[in-house]
Amino acid sequence: MPIVRNVSRAVGRLLQSSGCGCGIPVVPVRCLGVSPRQVTSDASFHSVSFSESDHPRVLITGGLGQLGVGLAKLLRKRFGRNNVILSDIRKPADNVFYSGPFIYADILDYKNLREIVVNNRITWLFHYSALLSAVGEANVPLARAVNITGLHNVLDIAAEHNLRLFVPSTIGAFGPTSPRDPTPDLCIQRPRTIYGVSKVHAELMGEYYHYRYGLDFRCLRYPGIISADTQPGGGTTDYAVQIFHDAIKTGKFQCNLKPDTRLPMMYIDDCLKATLEVMEAPAEMLSMRTYNISAMSFTPEELAQEVQKHVPELQMTYKVDDVRQAIADSWPMNFDDRNARRDWGWKHDYDLPELVTTMFNFLGSDSRIAQAN
């Protein structure tokens, strides 16, 4: 496979010269030479059904990112500690390692990933390994390898072993020609980032495997996700996380988007709840395999005003990053998630004031917040 080897060498040179430095797992070059495999054209796959007493065996790839650790915690409460395996190619912190099963899993190493699924009798797979929007634009070959080649490995393994597969999508799957306010589930999708292109690819490939092979593929388009227990990881919406850290540490925040840039957002607890709900929903309730979900939509200016209710002296300035701004301007301003609310009862719990209060409660108070209150 000369093309794969050439890509492997090119990505290898890129990683050796620059590294990733973004908090995103750097993928070993050797893994691009994956073993060839096929899904037989006449195969018919069906996902496993679970009774109340027969819990799924879960694998989470890319588990040390923004969502994986929180999802593992939620699923372990639901299905039992030892039934949920967190995986990544990075070494986990002690608290993560000792909280439940953890394993090294490289999504570009097809053979190793397949062995993990077989040896651990995995029945549900949550595929979170991906490079985010701004990071992906800075490292397109790596983003293409992780976000697309890795997806192909996961799809083939999920189909071969009858897994229920969840792959998250994103507001980045839409582009400047998509309707932005609101953006429906089905419309034109022409993203202009490698991240967005890879997510559209994931949606279409997952749905193809569902209709062609019967793979139980499920997908949610996440808005910007806000959480307090992970650092920003290179996404365009990460300003909405950084503002809380900077407000507490310095009382100053410099935003890299324009003050009137409106984007759909969601607190992480709502995101994790929606993910579990769609995975547990009976297949007959799902009229589609990829859904929008949303909770709120706000601008940097509106977020700052709410933050200033807790830290009145917060100084908000703007230094627009042209790359991130162009990405944000091509994304939805509001998500239409009526299908999710109708089909499987999706309902969010956090609006903007509750989000801000929760973030500050989680991050803790310092003298400024204590004085403000």
> Which residues are annotated as catalytic?
195
Q: How far is CA 73 from the centre of its chain?
A: 16
Note the helical H segments in 161-222: 194-213
Per-residue exposure over 290-327, b if at least 16 CB sit within 10 Å of its own CB, e if not: bbbbbbbbbbbeebbeebbebbeebebeeeeeeebeeb
The answer to whether 125 and 59 are in contact (CB under 8 A) is: yes
The pair of structure tokens assigned to 60 is 């989470």
Q: What angle do CA 232, 96, 62 make, to 5 degrees?
A: 55
Q: Which two tokens stand for residue 272?
A: 């994790």
Q: What b/e string do you get for 143-181 counting C-beta neighbours within 10 Å, with b at 16 or more?
A: bbbbbbbbbbbbbbbbbbbebbbbbbbbbbbbbeebebe
CB 61 within 8 A of CB 76: no
Helices (H), 36-149: 68-79, 94-97, 110-119, 133-138, 140-144
Based on the number of CB atoms within 10 Å of its own CB, is 17 exposed (0-12), middle (13-18) or buried (19 or more)? exposed
- The rounded Cα 147 to chain-centroid distance in angstroms is 11
Ramachandran area for residue 313 (φ above 0: left; ψ -120 to 50: alpha; else beta) = alpha
d(C-alpha 128, C-alpha 307), whole Å = 30
Instruction: Using alpha carbons, select from 255, 318, 323, 267 the residue that is nearest to residue 293.
Output: 267
